[in-house]
Amino acid sequence: MKRMTDRQLRSAFNAAGLRLTRQRLLICRELAGRYDHPDVEHLYRAVKPRMRQMSLFTVYRTMNALESAGMAWRVATWKGHARYDGNVETHAHFLCEKCGRIDNVAAHDACREMASQAQKCVEGSVRRVEMMIVGECVACQTAAAGA
């Protein structure tokens, strides 16, 4: 993914009225290194051992700030939990309704076409187009077949 520089991060946080603290930087770096579209709980559990004073609330606030600054996507809500992506380049997602796994799908032609056509469908201005493919992942299909 496109790596966020410290400078970009600092201005994103300033825009959201927050300081870029060591805790928030750690959360950003964790998100940037993951491809599983974690929710806040998973991010919290991953960074907590490295920074004991980290709170769940800090992770929530950080993710909200990143999202409003356009530096993270809230890609889906699965079982009531928002799932985040640090990669904000155009790409689609495949969500498994059974296990909640969310995979990246490379932006193929149909996806790019949709993004470029979207502006013709609405009167307002388009910031981004999200494409979510929903189904059942191979692991869940295999498990179901074996049962």
Q: Is 104 in the site for Zn ion (CB under 5 A)?
A: yes
Q: Is 133 in the site for Zn ion (CB under 5 A)?
A: no
Among the listed residues 15, 51, 99, 110, the single contact to Zn ion using CB under 5 A: 99
- The three-class DSSP label of residue 56 is helix
Alpha-carbon gap, residue 82 to 145, rounded angstroms:
30
Q: Is 90 in the site for Zn ion (CB under 5 A)?
A: no
Closest among 19, 121, 36, 125 to 81, alpha carbons compared: 36
Q: Is 137 in the site for Zn ion (CB under 5 A)?
A: yes
Q: Is 96 in the site for Zn ion (CB under 5 A)?
A: yes
Alpha-carbon gap, residue 86 to 104, rounded angstroms:
12
Q: Which window, 10-18, 54-62, 97-105, 122-130, contacts Zn ion (CB under 5 A)?
A: 97-105
